[in-house]
Chain A
Amino acid sequence: MARRMPESPGGPANLADILERVLDKGIVIAGDIKINLVDVELLTIKLRLLVASVDRAKEMGIDWWERDPALSSKAADRRLREENEQLRRRLAHGDALPDPALESADPALIEENLRLRELLAAEGIDADDEEDRQ
């Protein structure tokens, strides 16, 4: 219904690009929007879109906060923390089960994991008997 306006060379502008420009302070879906209702004085109200429409946002592919490396690596961190916890327990008890499929975890956690594995190895325990089984 709207007339096509002069747009970016690559076609109609991407919704996320528009939203980060027309909403206050760049971002956007996961934050507050300020609306200015000018009635002599300016009244600012806040919207919490995240609660209302995060599922819809995902449907439309506006879910970058989920794929943000800083956010998604938390899952990997959690897994590694659990594994380190297991390894710590196994240092005490002497048998091991690894999980190497961790790419994006916090380097400090990986370092800790490696140290624990070295300690296990020094005890003569092979930490990764089943590591590569898919």
Chain B
Amino acid sequence: VNTPAERPTASYLYAVCRRPPGPEPPEDLPGGLEGLGGPGEPIGVHGGPVRALADGDLVAIVETVPVDEFAEDALQRRLADLAQLEWLARAHHGVVQAVGARAPTAPMRLATVCRDDAAVRHVLRAEADRLNQVLARVAGRSEWSVKAYGRLTARPAGTHATATPGGPAAPGRGRDYLRRRRMARDSAEAARAALVREAAELDERLTAYADDVVRLAPHAPDAGTGDAFPISLFNAAYLVSDERVGDFRAAASAPVSDALRVEVSGPWVPYSFATPDLDEAPGPAPDDTPGDRGPGDRRETRP
């Protein structure tokens, strides 16, 4: 992508990690940026390479993006278009996931845009405590997504409200209908209750292997399985330590009744546990950046 020199740019923030240890740590990821972006390997939201920017013991993964495509109104327009939203979300996720494969990672929300590199370093400094806490919490752990869908299986005889086709009304059918409705309702309720109970027990077993759990909104069943398992029971994200991942996955894929379908995906970068709410961040202290706001390459130094 050729960006004219005068085209204003901003710094798109993907994720924050710890800086590699050492007396003079490089401005890099612990695992290096090797294979992450770089010429000929465009993977970022603007198709460009990603860079590492450090402040103190933290390092941010950023990409230079043109302001006219990533400013507020442009993003409003682009994110409201589902095709572009998907493209951006997948590009963002691609970088975050690759970073997460190298080091414990605090992922940022989609479209976290800083004015320049100095603003990124400011975020690292202003949020250092919170970011360090989050990174310590997710180190050696990964996020696993588990969703459960159900179906009502056995349909007791007589619950179908079908009868002699085309037959004329017979006396007493109103009462039959009443009885059938009651039976159907009672058995459907019982079946539903059994499903909910089984899903809750699964969730309980999984939670026992997890260090944390977040319940997300249930998804619609996938098109492929939607017909067979139309009831969304739960959608949860579990934070699981590396030592317990094996047990967790075994528990998640253990056989369940044929009324239940369980979908497991992972490992995810711990989005659901490590994404800081930057909008709650306090503004900078007045004396924090005295004078001019320097160009993007201004180095911040810390003792």
Contacts and interface: CB of A to CB of B under 8 A. Distances in A.
Contacts of A37: 71-72, 113-115
Interface string A5-38: 1111110011111111111101110000111111
Given A37-B72, A38-B278, A103-B188, A18 B220 contact: no
A39 B164 CA distance: 73
Contacts of B176: 128
B173 A128 contact: yes
Interface stretch (B21-29, B201-209, B279-287, B295-303): B279-287
Given A114-B178, A128-B177, A6 B97 contact: yes
A118 B111 contact: no
A110 B184 CA distance: 11
A20 B230 CA distance: 21
Interface stretch (B51-59, B76-84, B130-138): B76-84
Interface in B249-303: 265-268, 271-272, 275, 277-279, 281, 283-284, 289, 293
A53 B97 CA distance: 27
A127 to B, nearest CB: 4
A69 interface: yes
B169 A67 contact: no
Given A38-B115, A45-B72, A117-B178, A5 B94 contact: yes
B75 interface: yes
B128 interface: no
Interface of B: 13, 41-43, 47, 71-72, 75-76, 79-83, 85-86, 89-94, 96-98, 101, 107-115, 119-120, 122-123, 145, 161-167, 169, 171-178, 180-182, 184-185, 188-189, 216-223, 226, 230-232, 265-268, 271-272, 275, 277-279, 281, 283-284, 289, 293
Interface of A: 1-3, 5-10, 13-24, 26-28, 33-45, 47-49, 52-53, 56-57, 59-69, 96, 98, 100-101, 103, 107, 110, 113-114, 117-118, 120-121, 125-134
Closest 4 CB pairs of A and B: A64-B220, A129-B169, A21-B271, A52-B80
29 contacts: A3-B41, A3-B43, A5-B93, A8-B145, A17-B268, A22-B89, A28-B217, A34-B109, A34-B279, A35-B79, A36-B109, A36-B278, A36-B279, A37-B113, A40-B119, A40-B289, A42-B283, A43-B72, A48-B80, A98-B177, A100-B161, A100-B180, A110-B181, A117-B174, A126-B174, A130-B169, A131-B177, A132-B161, A132-B163
